[in-house]
Structure 1
Amino acid sequence: MEPQLQLKRIAAAITLAVAASTTVYAQESGKIAGKIVDIETLQPISGVSVSLSGTNKGTSTNDKGEFILDVSTRGTIKIVSSYVGYNRDTTSVILNSDISNVSIALVSENSALDEVVITRRRSQVSELAILDERKKSNLMIEKIGAQELSRKGVSDAEGALTKMSGVTKSSSGSNVFVRGLGDRYNSTTLNGLALPSEDPITKNISLDFFNTSVIQSIGVNKTFNPLINADVAGANIDILSKNLTEDSFLEIGASSGINTQAINAKDFQRIDGTSWFGNLSERNIPITDLTKFDFHNKLNTSTVKNPINSSYSIAGGKRFQIGEGNLNVFLTGNMNSEYKYSKGVLRQTTTTGTIFRDQESVRSDYNVSKTGMANLRYTFGRNYVAFNSLFINDQTQNYTRNYGLDASVDPNDKRLFRRQQVLDNKIFVNQLLSNIELTEIWKVDLGVGYNVVKGLEPDRRTIVLREPNGGGTYQLLAEENSNQRQYSDIDEKGWSTKALATYKILNEEGLDRKIEFGYNGEFVDRKFNATIFNQAPIGDRTINSDYVNDLDQVFNSANLASKLFEIRTGRGQSLDPYWYTASKKVHSGVAMATYQFDEKLTAVLGLRFDNVFQDVIYNTNIGNTDLDGYKPFKKNYVLPSLNLKYALTEKSNLRASGSMSYTLPQFAELAYFNNAGANGSTQGNKNLVPVENTNIDLKWELFPNQGELISVGVFYKNLKNPIAQTERGSNVITFYNVGGKATVAGAEIEVKKNLLKTETDNGSNILSAGANVSYLYSSQRLENIETLFTKTGGTSKLQGASPLLLNADVSYLLNGKGWNLTSTAVLNYFSDRIYAIGAQGFNDIVEKGVPTLDFVSSANIHKKWGVSLKARNLLNPNVRLERKADNMGNIVLESYKRGVDLSLGVSYKF
């Protein structure tokens, strides 16, 4: 990269950080006032020669690095800065008023002017750099960087996305929604390569696995172009992994905190066979003989006395000079543990709206996650080769207890439901990436990723007791899912590849003209197994009242030998598991041409050809591929796209985008397996077909000053054969192509503004605010050929689509002598949305909208110590699912509070 071009990019990124107040002297012809600093130290440079390009008119900077130049004509002015020991710099300035201000950063001739230096300086002002990148990009892309994540107190990628326009998270535990489109309509990548999901039910990996210690930035592309995965309608979410941004460092950190409901709970329960660190005493199926009771884990739980949240982290890196290049090594590791406790209600109704289940629900949740990442990056000249390895082990331990009315058998019956569940997921991601500039006009971008997912759910323990007429006497139930222990696992391996070449078309005007073409590939194989053991009572099913809270006295070796119950699997006396295998192969040819007509208009025309094969083979508790006649899916897609950018002024752009894409059914949405839950069950639908998407976007954006943004956009999507989560009879959640088409349209407004800025000897104190508001309209006709829907022939909103989304934040940066303090309040809100579309007489289930308010304050002391205070979910609203009811108020099916999370952390940088 030419030194002048590098300096321009650097200066654009750090302008606001190094800008200082200047004296303004109005003249009729105009003036340019500015300040010049050293790129490495950010200190002002005095005595720099500053002149107008092509003239002898010039001046020099004072002891504060400031200068003023008289200019006789207005328009685009080129300023040349030179100083002994520094590279010469040429900066363009637009003078359209009496005075224009500019900030310039000079690079020492002895500095290694490479990507490392640029990255280090850009990272210090990443919010500015990211806005600058957004302004200059030919595509509609939104990003949030490490600095903004820290300022807003965001702890993971999922939390980061909910701060962006049109994005929200389901309060009931689903992944993120983008413009009302949920998990199946989005895609997730790491450094541009596809990522797997750890959960057999979802397409995308849980974004809360990615804590901010491994994130450099997160990009959200809501419009399609050929270089991203075509299996997308909502957004492609690309996580850029963190790399070394300074010569060397070592930092350690720790924090501790509480959840207000967990710390006050007298009965927070830990599952037997688990530990605080996440160890499991039993990972594999212990039973080889159904006549022997070889389960090691107890049904009884233990009480946690001090449910204190904690977090520990270490990160470090070093830069090595090797040959003509530099090797950057970045390592990080952390462990987070968190307790959650909730108490609420759980209900279920008949098709007429009659409540037949009305229970108190108590949940104890403990999550422990461990993450390690190694990033090695060798930079030589304009090229780099990088290896990135990421390991995540995330474990959730959940104990649920529901008690109350259950009129499934008798109108006055009560039931006691208990479930102990552990989800232990391991993800291992390895990527080899490179970017090589072969010549001035040829560049290649190569990458290959190998991903391994191990998802384990060992010994899910479910017990349901019937209390006839609520009389205090309990009975065991004979149904298969009432006295059950389930072991399931998922093993997935996948490859993702990219090989892209860029041909730059040189021209005298220096306009952006290039052709990009190449190949993408994604290959995934998954194996899922589930073995279900039913502890079936024999004879009298009444149990001693003393055993209600001590069920290990009921299910044990002695009682099995005495024939009081027997162990059988879902397949009778066979130990063969339920299973499904799934595979996906996508070969993609990509081509994209960028043509900048002049300084204002740029067009990006793209074409992607996808050869798609997807197959699911299953033998489960409700179906068998051989008997059901399922056929694999094969299809070729030709997907055009067009992106236009028109620079209205130096500070504003008008953008337009149109594209076609598709959405494949997820593996678990196709696999015919019934997974029983506390208040119903989920199962796949083997008859699903892919969705075909048409996407149109229009956006205007203004960058009034550096660090500021005003953006207004509208969008329209047409979905052919949309898929939706649907409730059908017997409280089963499943999936259907709900009709011929769905329409999604909306508007988004985004604002970032510096409200107040004061200059002191210690730096700039800044009060800033940001907000984004999204309005969403969605409609789909319910035309399923099986005529399941309660509103068949009518219309419905899209499942997961909130008509209104709001995200807002206010931050204040205070600089003292040797320290700084940043405090931020963040508000999020989404309005009511459909959780599941009603079928077979059931009305829709609605997820009620809730506001969330977070506050974070962090201090940096002498660039060594860091202190942070976080308070999340301060409003602690009720999370509610409701069923629409005819001629009466909605019926609350589920309601609970999550509590307020408080934490205090400290870090030290060596």
Structure 2
Amino acid sequence: MMAALGAMAQTGTIKGTVKDAVSGEPIIGASIRLAGTALGNTADLEGNFEIAKVTPGTYELIVSFLSYKTDTVSNVTVVAGEVTTINTSLFEEGTQLNEVVIGGIRDRASDQILLGERRNASIAVENIGAIELSVKGVNDVGSGLVKMTGITKVASRGIYVRGLGDRYNNAYLNSMPLPSPDQNKKVVELDIFPTTIVRNIAVAKTYQADQFGDVSGASIDIFTKDPAQENFLTVGLGVNYNTVTTYKDFITNRDGSSDYLGLSGSKREGPVAVDYNGIHRFNGETDPFKTTFGRQHINAPIDNNFNIDAGRSINLGTSKLGIIFSGSYRNSYRADFGPNLVLNSMQDPDKNFDRDRYAFNTNLTGLLGTSFAWNENNVIRANYLFVNNSNNTYTTSLGDDFDVDSPSTTDRLRLRSRYLQTRMHNIQLGSDNTISNNLKVKWGGSYSTASTDEPDRRELSFTTPQGVKNEGTVSSTGLGGSQRYYQLTDEKEYYAFGEAAYSFGKPNSQDKRNKITLGYQRRNKDRDVSFRSYQLLFPPGSALLNVPMNVDRLEEVLDDEAYGSGDYTYNDIVDGSNRSKANRTIDAGYAYADLNITSRLSIIPGLRVEKTNQSVDYRLQGTGFNDRFTKIESDDFDLLPVVNAKYNITDTKILRLSGSKTLTRPNFVELVPVAYVNENLQSTVGNPLLSNSSIYNVDLKYEIFPTGSELVSFGVFYKNIDKPIEQVRSGPNFISFFNIASAQVYGFEFEFKKRISSFFSSSSKLVNGLVFDGNLSVLHSEVDTDPSKFKDQRTRDLLSAITNTSRQLQGASPYMVNLSMGYDDLFTKSSVQSSIELTYNVFGDRIYNVGTDKRGDEYEKSFGTLDLVIQNTWQSGFGVKLSAKNLLNPDIRLEQESGPNATKDDTITQSYKAGINLGLSLTYRLMGN
């Protein structure tokens, strides 16, 4: 305590308020900074600000905000141990500007500003800003979302909001829709977006007419950093140690150094660069593929990351140009070890493997943003985002496969080398124009490309003595036994919009006017999916048959000499089903009004009209390359009404109500009846009979804002889904998708952010710096799988096979908890800003796979995560962050319940530990003139 007080005595503090010079109202979000330093802050809901730990001296204080003239307060003297008070007022800019100040844009990375926007918003929107993401040690958008109320992440299936998975959510970048490079997901994997490019993340769980209508969980909007409001350069680097993997034995393929940057390189190209429409005849003396089946053992290096941000603000007479660049690279080595089982209705294993999985992951991201304001009423913005994500996985599975082998004294050994590269380009252009005091217009558009390339997946199957992992005899029987596999998914998306907002009526006592908004949106998506399989064959008489091979030296056995001698070859599996195409075009018009019925009550009715044309082209297995595609077409017209209401009980207490109708559509891949075989040799096949689901949503929320930095919120919600789509496992090796009759989800949410000083006063800086925040979600979901509600006999038969007709919705957790405790300036020294944050989150058991044919449902079991983050930032711009994540290191488990025919208890089907992650990162920020 004495050390902290001593440190305070060496520095001073600047406090004050920022108000409108005419009305006297506080200017929420005004930017206050000390010229020539990295110190600054933003005004809270009452217009108050504080800049602490200022080295004694004389400064210029620059105060700015959008549409106000910048004020520079000179000769601000700071004395050690004292508080300097500066109260200032800003005048609005006139129609003739001497200078346009982009620097007045609200700092939406700040918690206080985001809370202020949440309080003032007409509809309920939750935000998490870049500052909070940094304090909590979050490195990517996906990890940041699970810190928010009612949001969890299900392994390999993406984000779930209020128990609703991928198909019920939408992702946007700067309010423009994002494509998904993964054919199995509607929402792009949000882990690929590093927080280094993020200003804030907004989550709207209630619907508004300007959002696309295929949503019921949430519309997730990632806002990238604003173009520069000042000149700066920030450089950061870091390392991360994982207790399971780092410096331990790690198995990977031998495919080359380009993997380090996440680039597949030409080495993985197949024969004739894999012509997906032709037939290959394999002749010659050498293996036609550039890669080998070899692997290597290494000691896994420590993870590392690097980022650079730069900004430039340029005055051009009465106009201003802002530019920002952000680039980052990160990688990780991860391994997990544990059982991997597929069970039958008797709870006995159809497949029983011990699995060792090694993954090297990379992320390379670049963002370039510009903003040009030629006067206060006209601003145009452009952004370019590039993301390259790679996953290089090597899997060893040893055990029994009773679908292939009878019980014996031997094991089945499967080796799989899989490289997955995801790449996205996104270009955006948008403009905000104030035509008059009553009329504002927005327009813009985006073009995106997204691809997932799986080049040269190599799979080998061996027979080995029980428990032997390093050698075996070859087998080439059965699909997925030994093969090379290529798949490429390409998606292109165009988006354009125009919107006009007209304000009318006299301002009420809260200075709000009525407003009507009209808009049009067009979204066109094209997707092309191609795959190719080359089966590895060992002809009769091959010198390699029934000869034990050392799996660590396969490149010496399966080499050009053996290929030239005819000891192995490839069978090009020729099939017209190797390609499918899809297109969806949505034309939407919308209208909504923000009507101030009284000084405290606002009602926002809206209507959205969507016309959707969709086509999916595919060929069935067994057809030829030149056969015609089978086409699935739909032409839908949907009316989606919505009404939101907001009642300000007081200035700090708000009641919100929302009701809406929305929908969800099947993903393209869910309609295509072509099999994709996973690592467990299970086939996932689409269902062309799927139909859209209609959803009815009701939300009620009560929010309290005790101060500009505090929040308490209570909410309830209800959703009724007609004919929801679920993934169903029919038999041990077959997975498909079906409409079930109906589902309901309802629950309760609680959220808080409080300082301990709000409960009792204290002179201790340590006590006053203590902050608690967290959220709790409790939900109940139930589904109706009554087959009699469907006319299609196939659907009726498959729904009749579902084991539990009464159960919770797939992927829905009955509860979710996030808790956080933090100190501001715990380790305070002269001119140092410090924080420490301890976070914990946990979810309840949730269904991972729906059981059929008397098999029980498979659950992902509950586990908790505990993280600790400590960071210091010096006034000089230098920063240090220490993190310890997943401190509890729990077992991550899947468990199948006993079905009605089972003779055994619930059984663990997968289990592993992810390890504790210890991180260190350094940053340096240089401010310019």
TM-score of Structure 1 vs Structure 2, range by shorter chain: 0.7 to 0.9
TM-score by length of 2: 0.85
Question: After the TM superposition, which residues 540-619 of structure 1 pair with which residues of structure 2 at under 5 Å, given as runs?
Answer: 542-571=545-574, 578-619=578-619
Which residue in 1 is equivalent to 2:276?
none
> Is 1:389 matched up with 2:384?
yes
Q: Deviations over 1:840-882 (max 9, x none)?
A: 3332111111111111111101241011112221111111111
> Is 1:517 matched up with 2:500?
no
> Is 1:374 matched up with 2:357?
no
Q: Call closer, same or farther: CA 1:512–1:567 in 2, change over 3 Å.
A: same
Task: Select the residue among 183, 186, 189 that pairs with 2:172.
Answer: 189
Shift, 1:473, TM fit = 5.8
> Is 1:648 matched up with 2:649?
yes
Distance in 1 of aligned mates of 2:482 and 2:811:
34
Which residue in 2 is equivalent to 1:355?
349
Which residue in 2 is equivalent to 1:261?
244
Deviates more, 1:299-308 or 1:280-289: 280-289
Shift, 1:414, TM fit = 1.3
Q: Call closer, same or farther: CA 1:783–1:289 in 2, change over 3 Å.
A: same
Alignment partner of 1:276: what SS? helix
Shift, 1:131, TM fit = 0.6
Which residue in 2 is equivalent to 1:77?
none
> Is 1:908 matched up with 2:924?
yes
Alignment partner of 1:227: what SS? coil
Distance in 2 of aligned mates of 1:763 and 1:356:
59
Shift, 1:406, TM fit = 2.6
Shift, 1:669, TM fit = 1.3
> Is 1:786 matched up with 2:796?
yes
Shift, 1:277, TM fit = 2.4
Deviates more, 1:3-12 or 1:348-357: 3-12
Distance in 1 of aligned mates of 2:556 and 2:854:
43
CA contact (8 A) 2:803 2:855 kept: no
Which residue in 1 is equivalent to 2:28?
9
CA contact (8 A) 2:529 2:579 kept: yes
Q: Deviations over 1:187-223 (max 9, x none)?
A: 1011111100121111111111111111111110111
CA contact (8 A) 1:580 1:620 kept: no
**Letter of the 1:147 counterpart:** I
Shift, 1:675, TM fit = 1.7
Which residue in 1 is equivalent to 2:58?
none
Task: Select the residue among 60, 63, 68 that pairs with 1:39.
Answer: 63
Q: Which runs of 5+ in 2 are unaligned?
A: 1-18, 31-41, 52-60, 65-69, 77-81, 273-279, 788-794
**Letter of the 2:234 counterpart:** E
Alignment partner of 1:875: what SS? coil
Which residue in 2 is equivalent to 1:30?
none
Question: After the TM superposition, which residues 798-813 of structure 1 pair with which residues of structure 2 at under 5 Å, given as runs?
Answer: 798-813=809-824
Which residue in 1 is equivalent to 2:4?
none
Distance in 2 of aligned mates of 1:838 and 1:475:
34
Distance in 1 of aligned mates of 2:425 and 2:684:
28
CA contact (8 A) 2:347 2:904 kept: no
**Letter of the 1:410 counterpart:** S
Which residue in 1 is equivalent to 2:905?
889
Q: Call closer, same or farther: CA 1:211–1:111 in 2, change over 3 Å.
A: farther
Shift, 1:228, TM fit = 0.8
Shift, 1:733, TM fit = 2.5
Distance in 2 of aligned mates of 1:112 and 1:774:
48
Distance in 2 of aligned mates of 1:650 and 1:318:
39
Alignment partner of 1:633: what SS? strand
Distance in 2 of aligned mates of 1:322 and 1:800:
54
Distance in 1 of aligned mates of 2:346 and 2:885:
39
Q: Deviations over 1:122-160 (max 9, x none)?
A: 357x10111111111110110111111111111111011
Alignment partner of 1:261: what SS? coil
Higher relative contact order, structure no. (Cα contacts within 8 Å, ≥ 6 residues apart): 2
CA contact (8 A) 1:606 1:641 kept: yes
CA contact (8 A) 1:272 1:302 kept: no
Q: Deviations over 1:289-329 (max 9, x none)?
A: 42342111111112222421010111101111123221110
In angstroms, what is the RMSD of aligned CA positions?
3.1
Which residue in 1 is equivalent to 2:425?
428
Which residue in 1 is equivalent to 2:36?
none
Which residue in 2 is equivalent to 1:97?
none
Q: Deviations over 1:418-468 (max 9, x none)?
A: 110111111000000111000110111111000011221110001111237
Task: Select the residue among 199, 216, 229 that pairs with 2:212.
Answer: 229
Shift, 1:388, TM fit = 0.5
Distance in 1 of aligned mates of 2:303 and 2:288:
34
Q: Deviations over 1:535-591 (max 9, x none)?
A: 12222674322434433345344334433333112217xxx7701101110000110
Which residue in 2 is equivalent to 1:464?
461
Alignment partner of 2:574: what SS? coil
**Letter of the 1:402 counterpart:** S
Distance in 1 of aligned mates of 2:593 and 2:617:
40
TM-score by length of 1: 0.87
Shift, 1:894, TM fit = 1.0
Distance in 1 of aligned mates of 2:883 and 2:783:
41
Q: Call closer, same or farther: CA 1:337–1:629 in 2, change over 3 Å.
A: closer
Q: Call closer, same or farther: CA 1:310–1:792 in 2, change over 3 Å.
A: closer
Which residue in 1 is equivalent to 2:270?
285
Q: Which runs of 5+ in 1 are unaligned?
A: 22-36, 48-62, 68-80, 90-105
> Is 1:439 matched up with 2:431?
no
Which residue in 2 is equivalent to 1:454?
451
Shift, 1:827, TM fit = 0.9
Which residue in 2 is equivalent to 1:410?
406
> Is 1:770 matched up with 2:773?
yes
Alignment partner of 1:147: what SS? helix
Q: Call closer, same or farther: CA 1:628–1:44 in 2, change over 3 Å.
A: closer
**Letter of the 1:798 counterpart:** L
Which residue in 2 is equivalent to 1:728?
730
Which residue in 2 is equivalent to 1:502?
501
Distance in 2 of aligned mates of 1:3 and 1:208:
45
Alignment partner of 1:143: what SS? strand
Distance in 1 of aligned mates of 2:261 and 2:650:
56
CA contact (8 A) 1:407 1:414 kept: no
Which residue in 1 is equivalent to 2:693?
691
**Letter of the 2:341 counterpart:** R
Distance in 2 of aligned mates of 1:794 and 1:307:
49
Q: Deviations over 1:150-196 (max 9, x none)?
A: 111111110111010000111x2321100011111101011111100
Distance in 2 of aligned mates of 1:389 and 1:469:
54
CA contact (8 A) 2:632 2:688 kept: no
Shift, 1:17, TM fit = 9.2
Shift, 1:118, TM fit = 3.7
Alignment partner of 1:678: what SS? coil
CA contact (8 A) 2:893 2:910 kept: yes
> Is 1:250 matched up with 2:229?
no
Alignment partner of 1:788: what SS? helix
CA contact (8 A) 1:270 1:304 kept: no
Which residue in 2 is equivalent to 1:51?
none
CA contact (8 A) 2:459 2:480 kept: yes
CA contact (8 A) 1:45 1:65 kept: no
How many percent of aligned residue pairs carry the same amino acid? 29
Alignment partner of 1:304: what SS? strand
Which residue in 2 is equivalent to 1:167?
151
Alignment partner of 1:198: what SS? coil
CA contact (8 A) 1:684 1:734 kept: yes
Q: Call closer, same or farther: CA 1:432–1:7 in 2, change over 3 Å.
A: farther
CA contact (8 A) 2:26 2:45 kept: no
CA contact (8 A) 2:270 2:290 kept: no
Which residue in 1 is equivalent to 2:859?
846
Q: Deviations over 1:239-276 (max 9, x none)?
A: 11111354100111111122111125224434524532
